[in-house]
Structure 1
């Protein structure tokens, strides 16, 4: 099987490409620039330099692969257009398309307060207005199964490990910018989490054994709280923690991160991923990783 990873130079994309290569598959990947240099970091992966994944590039990717995994970070409009092109190019082919989305679509805004609600793969929920477009794209991908596309959606929560993440570096950034390890409000809000290598293994399992039209969560548990992560970072740097109002957090991290990524709750369960794909995540200790990992 030939697998193409769109965005193979990104944090998630690199790990996904390596996992497919380790599983013995033929792996290709797209990068926007520096393909020759990045090839040294991804041995066994054939990289294509594609400044833009336009319709011609999509047709080429589909023609030379059996499965496509989109790991690139895009804005909602770019994302919707890209998936529309891939679905059209794969129509009736039976080829596999994997969308790596995220559990931010399930976020409950709380300003740092705890919320006990959790969502399994197909539990009903009402997405935030900012994220309705992403849910629409998820639904377009999943319903393309009726058009002969073996399409699936994977939602990772907070991703950590090997020095990469979205949310954790923002907490480290608060120390650099303010001298304090910051959190929002009470800091009792929680996200579920997954190590990036466990996520990559789930993607490989989905390509091998996943069901067309399925949605899989990639959650292994919940962080104790964002305040707990801030306290670990304060311990690491020998500084104090600090609570921020939403306005202060927005000034520091931007509106989306303040209200959703660091100020809300997104707690998820992954029964379908574990039951149907036999996914067994093994890297569970996020606290030790924040204390000792190379985020700084």
Structure 2
């Protein structure tokens, strides 16, 4: 297939583009005007200018959106512009669209306020016959929130930190396994479906201890909010998100099944 990748130079998108190219697809990267070009053919447009997306996304077998969220107005206008191009869309959201506790691919969205508009993005993509991929906390290759935020805080404080009370669980996935999921969705997923990119459920305080050499302490929520804003509260939402349906129907089998082992190796 000829596939346009949005976010092809980002943490997730770089690996997704490489995985799809490695699977034999023709990858084209969407790039902003004046940005450095990735090692693929490119088309120029800007997520901050939704009107530029329709022309850029026309004529592809798939458009894979692995770019960052920009907010309600830009994301909703952007998805409408992509869908107007007529190319089938694979859109990345995340576990923050789901509620606390045990949830799966069929659970209704109950988003954290930081992702309040993203269920509507999902609804529009699915109604058009597209696909939604919801990753968990993504780690690996020194990127994502695990390294960009949590490891940095551990280095700053001399021990790992978690926000609020201990015991909060999050779904996690290695970026290479997540990239394999995009390949599987492009290859064989039925239109209008949701897929979960979660390899395991891990406790955030356990991740903090692994990053802190066995030492971890609570970062009070209000103190964390002063630095991180609404993201801090998201770290207090306990989630056990299943990807059993994704594994069964797509044959997706993550190779990295322990973030703790990864961080302590």
Report the alpha carbon displacement of residue 35 of structure 1 after superposing the two structures with TM. 3.0
2:230 corresponds in structure 1 to 256
**Residue 30, structure 1, aligned to residue 34, structure 2:** no
Distance 2:15 2:249 in 1: 22
Shift of 1:257: 2.3
Q: 1:137 to 1:54 in 2, by over 3 A?
A: closer
1:249 counterpart SS class: helix
d(CA) in 1 for partners of 2:145, 2:45: 24
Tell me which residue corresponds to 2:190: 211
Instruction: Give TM-score, length-normalised by structure 2.
Output: 0.91
Structure (1 or 2) with the larger CA radius of gyration:
1
Q: C-alpha separation between the residues in 2 aligned to 1:289 and 1:15?
A: 18
Which consecutive unaligned segments of at least 5 residues does structure 2 have? none
Which of these residues, 72, 77, 83, is aligned with residue 81 of structure 1?
77
What residue is the counterpart of 2:90 in the other structure?
Answer: 98
Once the two structures are superposed, what CA deviation does each residue of 1:168-226 show, in whole Å capped at 9, x if it has no partner? 43111213443332112332101011111111111111111111110111111111x11
Residue 273 of structure 1: aligned partner: 246
Q: Which structure ranks higher in relative contact order (CA pairs < 8 Å, sequence separation ≥ 6)?
A: 1
What residue is the counterpart of 2:111 in the other structure?
A: 127
Q: 1:181 aligns with which of 155, 160, 174?
A: 160
Deviation of 1:291 (Å): 2.8
Q: 1:67-91 CA distances to partner (integer Å, 9 max, x unpaired)?
A: 100011022322111101111221x
RMSD: 2.0
Distance 1:130 1:287 in 2: 27
Moved more, 69-78 or 162-171: 162-171
Contact 1:107/1:128 (8 A) holds in 2: yes
What is the Cα deviation at residue 274 of structure 1?
1.4
Distance, in Å, in 2 between the alignment partners of 1:129 and 1:49 is: 32
Unaligned runs of 5+ in 1: 40-44, 109-116, 146-150
Match of 1:169 in 2: 148
Corresponding position of 1:7: 7
User: CA 1:248–1:54 in structure 2 vs 1: closer, same or farther (change >3 Å)?
Assistant: closer
Report what 2:125 is aligned to.
Answer: 141
Conserved? CA contact 1:96–1:207, under 8 Å? no
Count of residues paired in the alignment: 262
Structure 1 counterpart of 2:210: 232
Query: Which residue of 1 is the match for residue 260 of structure 2?
Result: 287
In structure 2, how many angstroms separate the alpha carbons of the residues matched to 1:268 and 1:278? 18
Which secondary structure does the structure 2 equivalent of 1:15 belong to? helix
